[in-house]
Structure 1
Amino acid sequence: MPASPDQKLWVRTRQAVHAQVARTAMGLFLERGFEATTIDDIAAAAGISRRSFFRYFGTKEDIVLGDLAAHGEQIRKELEARPATEDAWSALLNALRHAPRPGPDDATTLKISKMLYNTPSLRARSLEKHLQWQALLTPDIRHRLGVAPDDEHDLRAEAIVACVLTCLDVAGEAWTRGNGTTPLEDLVLAAVAAVRGSAAVP
């Protein structure tokens, strides 16, 4: 049943408020620090009540990392669209490379990344999101490897996906430490090459 005009207006309004609160919160996080900014601070700056805040976000961490779940879906779609001739490693890396990820400019991204890697609760939630990515990406890799969906003993797909995601995290931390001077993609490829014991990744 198609949504009524009132329902569409409600959805647009909710999305607009969600985006406004997120922008306000990120501004406070970058100005004051993540841990120094309280939910009450965010609610007051956004002109909403504390109760209203929890209608849009479960935690402060969700404001910073809320788009990771959606990005995982984009990577899954890219992975499933990769040619069947690509091996598991190449397909994963190409999916990561080509998945669209609209976001802030590089300078702001670097500030957010520094906040993420320097805040234990954000780092933990980021790793939790990557576990969700692993569940999304593993089925395609199992198919590429010819592993039966019900084979519980062949762990190659799970291991490859976990390895690539760990390399992505390690590369992201190195990119942050280096203030973004080395392209993230180069760091990811270097990390994967080190794990695979080769000088280059196909």
Structure 2
Amino acid sequence: MPDDDGLWKRSRRAVYAEITRVAMELFLDQGFEETTIDQIASTAGISRRSFFRYFGTKEDIVLGDLVDQGSLAREALEAIPLSVPPWQALQDALWQVDQRTDQAVMLEVAKMMYGTPSLRARSIEKHLRWQEQLVPNIRLRLGADPGDASDPAADAIVATAITCLDVAGQIWVRGDGKDDLKELYRRAVDSVRSPGT
């Protein structure tokens, strides 16, 4: 008996990937803000209505993986022994996710994101969702109850770690990807963890 559900999922993934490919080519060729949803749909050979079955907004095409990356970061963090201190565990988890991304593609997406206010805002919104996913594990590492939201320590550490990642990304883009992003992140973290800063 054929697996209709599996076939449907594969077809959906293929269409999703094709829309993403077409849209990214248009974004990189003519700019994010200059590219319309109608143009993406037409070039991909689908209707505007079909576009919205796959993406809620144009921004989701560029940043859709960001939510999934948050889940991957949470899984990576949970796999790191609780004996590893919070800052080191977060860095290790974030870089496990980063290694899965093609650096040239990541640079082009980052340039687009940092240069487009609507993408920037959407990116910040998605990073807030990362924070919700990572905080419970950091509470455990701090010896706190993972469900206790009254202590700000874990929230502050995770929010700062994510902000350091964002700052490192901005500097990396300004340098056209020539600097080591991991090293920029480490330096950003060290600057907020050092005494007197």
TM-score calculated relative to the size of structure 1: 0.92
- Aligned partners of 2:145 and 2:105: how far apart in 1? 44
Of 23, 26, 30, which aligns to 1:25?
Answer: 23
Matching residue's letter, 1:170:
V
Residue 156 of structure 1 aligns with which residue?
153
Of 123, 137, 143, which aligns to 1:140?
Answer: 137
Residue 51 of structure 2 aligns with which residue?
53
What are the ranges of 5 or more consecutive residues in structure 2 without an aligned counterpart? Answer: none
Matching residue's letter, 2:29:
E
* Structure 1 residue 151 displacement after superposition: 3.1
Match runs of 1:183-202 below 5 Å: 183-197=180-194
- Aligned partners of 1:184 and 1:24: how far apart in 2? 28
Matching residue's letter, 1:132:
R
- Aligned partners of 1:15 and 1:52: how far apart in 2? 14
Match runs of 1:36-47 below 5 Å: 36-47=34-45
* Structure 1 residue 39 displacement after superposition: 0.3
CA pair 91-102 structure 1, distance change in 2 beyond 3 A: closer
* Structure 1 residue 107 displacement after superposition: 3.1
Residue 176 of structure 1 aligns with which residue?
173
Contact 2:168 2:181 in 1 (8 A): yes
* Structure 1 residue 6 displacement after superposition: 1.7
Residue 83 of structure 1 aligns with which residue?
81
- Aligned partners of 2:54 and 2:22: how far apart in 1? 13
TM-score calculated relative to the size of structure 2: 0.94
Cα RMSD for the two superposed structures: 1.5
Residue 96 of structure 1 aligns with which residue?
94
Q: Is 1:123 equivalent to 2:127 in the alignment? A: no
* Structure 1 residue 10 displacement after superposition: 1.2
Counterpart of 1:113 in 2: which secondary structure?
helix
Could you give the per-residue CA deviations for residues 121-176 of structure 1, whole angstroms, max 9, x where no partner exists?
00000011100000000000001111123433311000000000000000000000
Q: Identity percentage over the alignment?
A: 55
* Structure 1 residue 109 displacement after superposition: 2.5
Count of residue correspondences: 195
- Aligned partners of 2:6 and 2:140: how far apart in 1? 39
- Aligned partners of 1:151 and 1:115: how far apart in 2? 38
